[in-house]
Amino acid sequence: MAKILLEMKNITKTFPGVKALDNVNLQVEEGEIHALVGENGAGKSTLMNVLSGIYPYGTYEGDIIYNGQVCKFSNIKDSEKLGIVIIHQELALVPEMTIGENMYLGNERGHKFAIDWNTTYAEADKYLKMVNLEESSKVQVKTIGTGKQQLVEIAKALAKQAKLLILDEPTSSLNEEDSRALLDLMLGFKKQGMTMIIISHKLNEVAYVADKITVIRDGTTIETIDNRGPEPVSEERIIKGMVGREMTNRFPKREGVKIGDVMMEVEHWTVHHPLYPERKVVDDVSINVRKGEVVGIYGLMGAGRTELAMSIFGQSYGVNFSGKLKIDGKEVKMKKSEADAIKHKIAYVTEDRKGNGLILSQSIKVNTSLANLNSLAKLGVIDQDKEYAVAEEYRDKLKTKTPTVEQLVGNLSGGNQQKVLLAKWMFAEPDIMLLDEPTRGIDVGAKYEIYCIINDLAAQGKSVVMISSELPEVLGMSDRIYIMNEGKMVGEMKAQDATQENIMALILQSGRGA
Amino acid sequence: MNENRMSVSAFFQKYTMVIALVVVVIFFAIATGGGSLKPGSINNLISQNGYVFVLASGMLLCILTGGNIDLSVGSVVCFSAAVGCVMMDKGANMWFAVLVMLAIGLLIGVFQGFWIAKIRVPAFIATLSGMYAFRGLSNVVLGGYRVDISNEKFLFLFGGGRDCYIPDFIRQWMGSEGKPNLTCLAIGILVIVVYILMTVRKIHIQNKLSIHQSVLGQCVTTGAISVVVLFITWQLASFRGIPTVLIWIGLILGIYQYITTKTAIGRHLYAVGGNEKATALSGVKTRNVYWFAYASIGLMAGLGGILTAARAKGIDPTYGEGYEMDAIASCFIGGASAYGGIGKVSGMIIGAVLMGVINQGMNMVGVDSNFQKVVKGLVLLAAVIFDVMSKRQKR
């Protein structure tokens, strides 16, 4: 048996109120490619952040043993010194700088006060050759495509003398061809003795490249599958480990809600990326939602769900839109204006409540009224008594736990913040609510309350579109489910026909077929 | 949970600048042997700093949108005043000149706001270019020389010269002469009574809506402010009465207090500064909010020009230099956040008064004027450090 390069023993990491990792164990042999798989939020990235020192020693329990030594990293620099280099999912390159400058950012050649540019570019070119990139290192990063940028990231890691390379979703933004090239590059590195950990949602890629596959679910290691046999392990086998959780009564029943006529129809909706306009983020998607219906949209990260919802909501995301939007049977010429969308009775409840949803430095009252302030104002003057009453009303309705509606939103818990966000959009009195990850990062009790609110909305005849990365939630809450992958709509199912397995299978098939 | 009792540290955090102001006032009162609290000193403090209150009001709105500032106000003050003074010098009607000065300020604000809001030129750069351009234009308009104002009505209305005080109507009606100025006293007491009634009404409404706010705290605040107002009234009354510039200050502060606390546009200013993206996604046209802020400070620069010209009885091409910094400093010392979204008119007033008191006190004590700038700089730095630190504790 080969030497164990890395062992993570009984790692437990707790965030306030949430146990993100619970006794996780991971063993990586020298010279192997080890895959980590699991649903969004299962704890893969947290585990890698523990390993690379982003969460320093002391903030977690358990041991990291690397090369036979117990490691106590206090920051990323410490782990990089030992050759543990992580490449994050989001590219961390400065577009305006050259490839060479990017590769040695924070790791400059020569003297601190006199950078040796000749060495920098010569060494950079050497590493670029290793990753099969023909570009000169003096080329600006913004002029090369995403696939090549990913290779630059890898070259950057190599330049740090990486011995253990961690790749977090390295192919999520790449097309099929670039992905395959990257995977083959990884196999090439393996031959040279490099050890790698890959995190990926694309199970076909995992099966192709990995020697061992560790499945993580709900913050614990479920199993490690050996993939070194003559036949690659089947994806169904991996999925079983990923989703095999029991469904108990976590979702309140919605009974006697009549589903009415079609409220909103989106046809052949296409949206391009705002920074890379040649890339389609949403590609020819058609959906509809009826009155009183809850429609789920499921997809893995990067499937284009948020982008779809935001582009419907006053084109607040993307460029070069095409497609038709019909509300109540009539076609709507939507402008690039959120105010216009609100006027058409659409609300978008963001997945990023702190970044895009709430004003944390303001009170619950101010946040609740913001999207519909005009209804409380006469000639631009706010009726503050009425505003207070409205905020109180929604606090009661949604059972937001707070001493007073004058409380700053920044001081509330995640679940209560989510309720304030919902209150804000309910007060805008929409007919169509686009809920984006409405239960992200909140505890189980608060989730249940949010589900009840969604049911109430449906009972009032509102049309609810619920985007979620949690399959059980989509299955438990929806009347109908759309499945998206890589910008395309890959399937539609009635809730009673849907199972975790056939939804995942749909996504995987589409990923392979492309 | 009733939060009637505030912890001591929270109290100090909330009222740091008030406490600092009290300390500074007491310090200079002792250092000058009570001279800084004499009627004449109080009167000067108000007259000299009129422009600061006006400009800082406008500046506050810009800062609220996200720590944006307007560097051009000093130059705009000078330019609008220059045009008005030349017009009056050439015999134009005074009211017409006043309107032109205000219009110039407003137009410049709209102009700069257009680039900032619609074309997204960084505010710092757009107004820096305005600072140069309007300083140059002031020089052109004035031909490089000082232009004096002889229009007595203008001087009286906007607080210049010796007789820019509200006449004592009550004593005139009674046919008596002397001090204290009874009109001044009457107005001061009226202001206090109205203020107390407003507080009572507010507490009443809070009770009705069962909003839990410390009633005691509000009474103490109201009482303290009333005492201060009463003191100032008495001092002014025993000097020459209410300086006319105080009317303008009061009017502007009142308007801006109303805008920031009661109106939708005021709410949008805070919202944009607090989280622009969330505000935009709530259907607010955030660009127009920026435009409003810069138009408003332009108008205030126009009024600032009028007050400055009146106070100096004329205008010189160098007037207004550094005014933008006084306004910015007042806002930041008064607790406005350099990142936007936080700041109050009341805080800005404290900041402006603090700067004014320090200025005047140092003058009376005889501190070298260069050293005075050092002190002002340190006060500003300390205030912003405090702001940043107190926010870090919360996270």
* Regions in chain A scoring below 50 on pLDDT: 246-247, 513-514
Is residue A377 within 8 Å of residue B264, measured between CB atoms? yes
User: C-alpha dihedral over B304, B309, B311, B316, to 10 degrees?
Assistant: 120
Closest CA to B324 of B51, B100, B45, B79: B51
Cβ contact (<8 Å) for B262 and A381?
Answer: yes
**Residue A470 within a domain:** yes
In chain B, residues with a C-beta closer than 8 Å to the C-beta of A359 are 270-271, 274-275, 278-279, 341
Cα–Cα dist B88/B100, whole Å: 11
Q: Of A220, A243, A266, which residue constitutes the final position of a domain?
A: A243
Residue B3 confidence (pLDDT): 43
Nearest residue of A to residue B207, measured between CA atoms: A385
In chain B, residues with a C-beta closer than 8 Å to the C-beta of A381 are 262-264
Q: Verify that A129 and A24 share a domain, yes or no.
A: yes
pLDDT of B349 above 50: yes
In chain A, residues with a C-beta closer than 8 Å to the C-beta of B280 are 316, 338
The rounded mean pLDDT for chain B is: 90
Test mutation, A361, A378, A436, chain B, max B CBs within 10 A: A361
Test mutation, B259, B275, B287, chain A, max A CBs within 10 A: B275
Cβ contact (<8 Å) for A357 and B267?
Answer: no
Nearest residue of A to residue B341, measured between CA atoms: A361
Test mutation, A370, A376, A388, chain B, max B CBs within 10 A: A370
Q: Where are the domains of chain B?
A: 34-164+243-394, 172-242
Nearest residue of B to residue A352, measured between CA atoms: B278
Token pair of A371 as six digits = 């999207």
Residue type, A153: E
pLDDT of B114 above 50: yes
Q: Across residues B44-54, what is the average pLDDT?
A: 93
Helix (H) or strand (E) holding A494: strand A488-494
A339 shares contact with chain B (CB less than 8 Å): yes
* Domains contained in chain A, number: 3
Residue A198 confidence (pLDDT): 94
Measured between CB atoms, which of B3, B278, B342 is closest to A358? Answer: B278
In chain A, residues with a C-beta closer than 8 Å to the C-beta of B278 are 350, 355-359, 370
Is residue A493 within 8 Å of residue A480, measured between CB atoms? yes
User: C-alpha dihedral over B307, B311, B313, B319, to 10 degrees?
Assistant: -70
Q: Verify that A417 and A465 share a domain, yes or no.
A: no
Highest averaged pLDDT of the listed ranges A38-47, B77-86, B162-171, B335-344: B77-86
**Residue A249 within a domain:** no
Number of inter-chain CB pairs under 8 A, A vs B: 95
Report the gap between the CA of B74 and the closest CA in chain A (Å).
31
3-state secondary structure at position A266: strand
Cβ contact (<8 Å) for B278 and A356?
Answer: yes
Cα–Cα dist A28/A212, whole Å: 9
Cβ contact (<8 Å) for A380 and B265?
Answer: yes
Report the gap between the CA of B292 and the closest CA in chain A (Å).
13
Nearest residue of A to residue B342, measured between CA atoms: A361
Residue B245 confidence (pLDDT): 93
**Residue A209 within a domain:** yes
Report the gap between the CA of B287 and the closest CA in chain A (Å).
12
Q: Verify that A374 and A225 share a domain, yes or no.
A: no
Indicate the pairing of strand A164-168 with strand A195-199: parallel
**Residues whose CB falls within 8 Å of the CB of residue B155, separated by 6 or more in sequence, listed in order:** B149, B161, B164, B310, B313
Range in A168-177, A494-503, B103-112, B354-363 with the lowest mean pLDDT:
A168-177
Cα–Cα dist B199/B221, whole Å: 10
In chain B, residues with a C-beta closer than 8 Å to the C-beta of A311 are none
Nearest residue of A to residue B280, measured between CA atoms: A338
Cα–Cα dist B67/B74, whole Å: 18
Residue A513 confidence (pLDDT): 46
A360 shares contact with chain B (CB less than 8 Å): yes
ipTM of the modeled complex:
0.82
Neighbours of A436 (CB within 10 A): 24
The CATH code of the domain that includes A203 is 3.40.50.300
Nearest residue of A to residue B208, measured between CA atoms: A385
In chain A, residues with a C-beta closer than 8 Å to the C-beta of B213 are 406
Closest CA to B145 of B85, B223, B213, B232: B85
A373 shares contact with chain B (CB less than 8 Å): yes
Token pair of B52 as six digits = 């600061």
Q: Of A243, A276, A305, which residue constitutes the final position of a domain?
A: A243
Cα–Cα dist A456/A459, whole Å: 5
Report the gap between the CA of B335 and the closest CA in chain A (Å).
14
Residue A291 confidence (pLDDT): 94
Is residue A312 within 8 Å of residue A324, measured between CB atoms? no
Report the gap between the CA of A376 and the closest CA in chain B (Å).
9
Cα–Cα dist A96/A102, whole Å: 9
Nearest residue of A to residue B259, measured between CA atoms: A381
- pLDDT per position as a tens digit, B85-95: 999 999 999 99
Report the gap between the CA of A146 and the closest CA in chain B (Å).
26
- pLDDT per position as a tens digit, B186-199: 999 999 999 999 99
HEC readout, A371-429: HHHHHHEECCEECHHHHHHHHHHHHHHHCCCCCCCCCEHHHCCHHHHHHHHHHHHHHCC
Cβ contact (<8 Å) for B281 and A348?
Answer: yes
Taking CA atoms, A441 is separated from A77, A199, A305, A353, A368, in Å, by: 29, 21, 18, 10, 21
pTM metric for this prediction: 0.80
A375 shares contact with chain B (CB less than 8 Å): no
Sign of the Cα torsion A306, A307, A308, A311 reads positive
Is residue A322 within 8 Å of residue A268, measured between CB atoms? yes
Q: Verify that A337 and A232 share a domain, yes or no.
A: no
Taking CA atoms, B274 is separated from A355, A369, A472, A513, B347, in Å, by: 10, 15, 35, 45, 18
Measured between CB atoms, which of B264, B274, B277 is closest to A355? Answer: B277
Indicate the DSSP class of residue A496. G
Residue A514 confidence (pLDDT): 43
Report the gap between the CA of B19 and the closest CA in chain A (Å).
24
Strand partners, A275: none
Q: Verify that A181 and A212 share a domain, yes or no.
A: yes
Measured between CB atoms, which of B3, B205, B267 is closest to A382? Answer: B267
**Residue labelled with tokens 């107190």:** B390
Cα–Cα dist B359/B151, whole Å: 30
Range of the domain at A446: 254-345+430-514
Confidence of residue B227 (pLDDT cuts 50, 70, 90): very high
Q: Across residues B292-315, what is the average pLDDT?
A: 96
For chain B, the residues whose C-beta falls within 8 A of a C-beta of chain A are 1-3, 205, 209, 211-213, 262-265, 267-268, 270-271, 274-275, 277-285, 337, 341-342, 394
Q: Verify that A238 and A280 share a domain, yes or no.
A: no
**Residue A193 within a domain:** yes
Closest CA to A5 of A69, A61, A56, A54: A69
Q: Verify that A202 and A335 share a domain, yes or no.
A: no
Please spell the DSSP secondary structure of B355-380, one letter per residue: HHHHHHHHHHHT--HHHHHHHHHHHH
Burial class of A514 by CB neighbour count within 10 A (0 to 12, 13 to 18, 19+): exposed
**Residue labelled with tokens 């906007």:** B158
In chain B, residues with a C-beta closer than 8 Å to the C-beta of A371 are 282-283
Residue A247 confidence (pLDDT): 43
Q: Verify that A64 and A172 share a domain, yes or no.
A: yes
Q: Verify that A388 and A277 share a domain, yes or no.
A: no
* Cα-Cα end-to-end distance for chain A: 39
In chain A, residues with a C-beta closer than 8 Å to the C-beta of B282 are 338, 342, 370-371, 424
* Cα-Cα end-to-end distance for chain B: 22
Please spell the DSSP secondary structure of B146-188, one letter per residue: -EE---HHHHHHTT-STT-B---HHHHHHT---SS-HHHHHHH
Q: Of A429, A452, A479, which residue constitutes the final position of a domain?
A: A429
Residue type, A7: E
- Taking each helix axis as running N to C, give the angle between helix A176-191 and helix A146-159, from 0 to 180 degrees, rounded to the nearest 10: 20
Indicate the pairing of strand A262-272 with strand A110-111: unpaired
Indicate the DSSP class of residue A264. E
**Residue labelled with tokens 């040649």:** A278
Q: Verify that A115 and A236 share a domain, yes or no.
A: yes
Closest CA to B320 of B185, B147, B134, B195: B134
Cβ contact (<8 Å) for A388 and B211?
Answer: yes
**Residue A53 within a domain:** yes
Is residue A428 within 8 Å of residue A372, measured between CB atoms? yes
Cβ contact (<8 Å) for B264 and A313?
Answer: no
Cα–Cα dist A93/B153, whole Å: 65
Cα–Cα dist B318/B142, whole Å: 11
- pLDDT per position as a tens digit, A42-95: 788 889 989 988 899 988 999 999 988 899 999 888 898 899 999 987 778 888
At the top level of CATH, the class of B34-164+243-394 is mainly alpha
Cβ contact (<8 Å) for B212 and A366?
Answer: no
- pLDDT per position as a tens digit, B1-12: 344 455 666 777
Q: Across residues B127-138, what is the average pLDDT?
A: 96
